[in-house]
Amino acid sequence: MGRGRVELKRIENKINRQVTFSKRRNGLLKKAYELSVLCDAEVALIIFSSRGKLYEFGSAGTPKTLERYQRCCFTPQDNSIERETQSWYQEVTKLKVKYESLQRTQRHLLGEDLGPLSVKELQNLEKQLEVALAQARQRKTQIMIEQMEDLRKKERQLGDLNKQLKIKLETEGQTYNAIESLWNSNAVAGTSNFSVHSSQTNTMECPPEPVLQIGYHQYISGEGSSTPKGMQGGETNFMQGWVL
C-alpha cells in the first residue's frame, strides 16, 4: 500500500516538527554532497534552525563560494564600487613602494645599508651628499649675513639713541648750572646785606654789657675824711674786694 502525499504546511506538534527537521536536514546535506561529487559542481548549503543554530556544507568552502556568488551577482553600481576599490588598492600599493624607496634612500644618506650598492650607485650618492653639503653651507652663510645686517641696524639705532640722550643730558646740565649760578649769586648778595645790617644794629643800639663785682669796693680816703677803724695801717689792703 503506497504512502500518501504529505500536505505542505507548518507542523504544529513541536516534537514532530523537530524530528522532521533533523531527517530532512540530513537528507538535504547528503544530496548536496552527492551533487558536488557526481557532477563536479561547487555547492554551498546554509541552514538555520528555528532556534538559530547554523548548519552548512561547502564543497569548495562556504566563504569562497559566497565570494564567487557576490562577484557574479554584482550590479553595475557594485561594479563601479569594485573598480574604485581596485583603483584605491593600486594607489596604496604604489605609495607603499614609494615609501619603502624613500626609507631606503634615507638610510643610504645616513650611511646605513651601503653593502648592496654598486660603485656607480655609491658615486651618485657621493655627488648627492656634496650638493646637499654645498647648499647647506650656502644657506648657513646667507643666514649669518642676515643676522649681521640686523645687528648693524640695531647698532645704528642704539648709536642714534645714545646721541639724542647725550644732547638732552648736556641741555639739562647747562640749565642746571645756570640755575645753580643764579641761586649762588642771590645767596651771596643776601648774606652781605644781612652782615652790614647786623653790624650797624649792634654798634648803634646794643648797650655795654654789665660787669658783676662781688665784695667791697676799693676805699680811697680823702682829706678830711675819717678812716674806719678796721681799715687803718696794714689792714687797709685786707678784703679790698673781689672782682669777677
pTM over 0.75? The answer is no
Domain count along the chain: 3
Q: What is the mean pLDDT of residues 94-106?
A: 89
Q: At what angle do helices 76-109 and 119-205 cross, to 10 degrees?
A: 70
Beta bridge partners of 58: 44
Count CB neighbours of 17 within 10 A: 13
- Report the distance separating Cα 203 and Cα 80, nearest Å: 133
The radius of gyration computed from the CA coordinates of the chain, to the nearest angstrom, equals 68
C-alpha cell belonging to residue 76: 553595475
Residue 58 — φ and ψ, nearest 5°? Answer: -145, 120
Q: Is the pLDDT of residue 146 over 50?
A: yes
- Report the distance separating Cα 62 and Cα 45, nearest Å: 8
Structure confidence by residue, pLDDT tens digits, 185-205: 777 776 655 554 555 545 454
- Report the distance separating Cα 144 and Cα 138, nearest Å: 10
- Report the distance separating Cα 121 and Cα 113, nearest Å: 12
**Does 170 lie in the same domain as 130?**
yes
Q: In this structure, is residue 244 part of a structural domain? A: no
Kindly state the helix (H) or strand (E) to which residue 132 belongs, with its residue range: helix 119-205
Beta strands in 169-243 (DSSP E): 213-214, 242-243
Q: In this structure, is residue 201 part of a structural domain? A: no
Residue 81 lies in domain: 76-113
DSSP 172: H
**Does 67 lie in the same domain as 19?**
yes
**Does 62 lie in the same domain as 108?**
no
**Does 46 lie in the same domain as 22?**
yes
- Among residues 113, 142, 167, the one where a domain terminates is 113
Query: Which pLDDT value is given to residue 78?
Result: 57
Structure confidence by residue, pLDDT tens digits, 202-229: 545 445 555 555 554 554 444 444 444 4
**Does 166 lie in the same domain as 127?**
yes
Q: Is the pLDDT of residue 135 over 50?
A: yes
C-alpha cell belonging to residue 125: 650618492
